[in-house]
Amino acid sequence: MFFRNFKFNKVGQTSITLLTNNNLTSNTRISYSKVFYSTTIKMSKENLFVSPKWLNDNFERVKILDASWFMPAEKRDSRGEFQQKHIKNSKFFDIDEICDKTVKLPHNLPSVEFFEKEMQRLGIKNDDHVVIYDTRAQYVASARVWWTFLVFGHDQSKVSLLEGGLPNWEKSGYSVESGPIVNNQDASIQYKATYNGQLVRSKEEMLDNIQSKKFQVLDARPGDRFWGRIDEPRPGLRRGHIPNSLNIPWVDLLSKDGGYHTKEQLEKLFSDKGVNLNEPISTTCGSGTTAAVISLSLFKLGYPIPPIYDGSWSEYGQPSLKLPASCSNDQ
C-alpha cells in the first residue's frame, strides 16, 4: 500500500488517493482525517484532561489558570470569586479583558500583540504547560480558553483542563487559598504567539457557507434560543439561528457531574442530531464560548478541532446586519 495523492483541506482534515497491492488502476478516495490524526492526537491528548491528583503531583511544573466566566444574567462576579477562593498559585484569565476591545462584541479574540502582552502579565512562556479550570464542574470558559491558546499557537500537548474544575479539586481534598489578583513582575518572561486562523471562522465564511455548504454548523445554544422561541440574553439581538445549522446544546454533551459523556454516548448524540463526524464541522453559540464545549468534545473523540465562529450570534444576530436567519416557524 502507498499514497498516490495527499492533501489537506481548509479545516485540517486530510484526504488521500490510495493504491493497494499492485492494483494501480484502483483509485479509492477515502476520508483520512481520523486515521491521519491518530499519532498527533495521541501526543496532544495525553494530558488533555488531568485529574486533581495529577495536578497536585505536578504542581510546580505547570501554570494554573482560573478561566471562570458567567453570563450577565447570572449576576456573578468571576473576578471577585477568584479573590475569595482559588487553587494555590493560579492566575485569573479574564476572557472579557483578554479580548479585542476595538469591537462591540463580547470577548472576541484579541490581537496577537495583545495576547502576547497578557501572557507576559500572567507569567506564561511558550514552553509552559498550562492547566485551565472553571469554578464550576462544567467545561465552559475553560474550553474557550483552551481553544484560545491553540489559536495563538501554544503546543496542544501543553494545554490541559482540570477534570471537574474547582469543585472536583476541593472534593478530592486539596486546599485552596484566597487573595488578590497578582500580575507577573518578571520582565524576562516573554511570549511569542503565532495566529492559527484555521481554528477561527468569520461572519463572511458563515454567510458563504449557507449556499456552498462546505462545512456543517453546530450551534451550542439551548433549543429555545436556537429555534427563536425566546429572546436572546443579550438585549437587542434577533431571534433564530444561521440557516442550515444543527442544534447541539452544550449541556447535552456533559454528564451530571460536569464531565463529558462516554465516547459511545457522544457519537450517538451527534448521529441522532444528523451530524456527519467524517465531514468538516464548525461551531457557534451566543458569543463563541460554549461553542468551544462542542469543539473540545469532538477533539476528545479523535476528530480535528472544529473552527469556532468567534462573533457567533452576538455578531450574526445584530438587526442592523439583516443577515438570513431561521426560526421555528419557518422550518
**How high is the pLDDT of residue 329?**
54
Helix axes 291-301, 263-272, angle to 10 degrees: 120
Lowest average pLDDT, out of 104-108, 176-180, 195-199, 225-229, goes to 104-108
Interstrand relation of 49-50 and 62-66 (parallel, antiparallel or unpaired)? unpaired
User: What CATH code is assigned to 197-330?
Assistant: 3.40.250.10
6 phi, psi to nearest 5 deg = -145, 120
Does position 20 have pLDDT exceeding 80, yes or no? no
Which residue, chain included where needed, has cell 489537506? Answer: 8
- What is the C-alpha separation between 118 and 42, in angstroms, rounded? 30
The catalytic residues are 285
| Helical segments of 7-75, H only | 33-36, 38-44, 52-57
Q: Please check whether the two domains, 44-177 and 197-330, share a CATH topology.
A: yes
Beta bridge partners of 241: 326
Sketch the domain layout of the chain as residue ranges: 2-36, 44-177, 197-330
Q: Mean pLDDT score of the chain, rounded to an integer?
A: 86
CATH of 44-177, one of 3.50.50.60, 3.40.50.150, 3.10.580.10, 3.40.250.10: 3.40.250.10
pLDDT digits (tens, 9 = 90+) for 192-249: 999 999 999 999 999 999 999 999 999 999 999 999 999 999 899 999 999 999 999 9
Question: Can you tell me the distance from the alpha carbon of 237 to that of 314, in angstroms, rounded to the nearest whole number?
Answer: 7
Q: Is 201 helix (H, G, I), strand (E, B) or coil?
A: strand
pLDDT tens figures, 145-167: 999 999 999 999 999 999 999 99
- Yes or no: say if 30 and 1 are a contact pair by the CB < 8 Å rule: no
For 259-296, the pLDDT digits (tens) are: 899 999 999 999 999 999 999 999 999 999 999 999 99
Percent of the chain at pLDDT > 70 equals 85
Q: Report whether pLDDT(21) > 80.
A: no
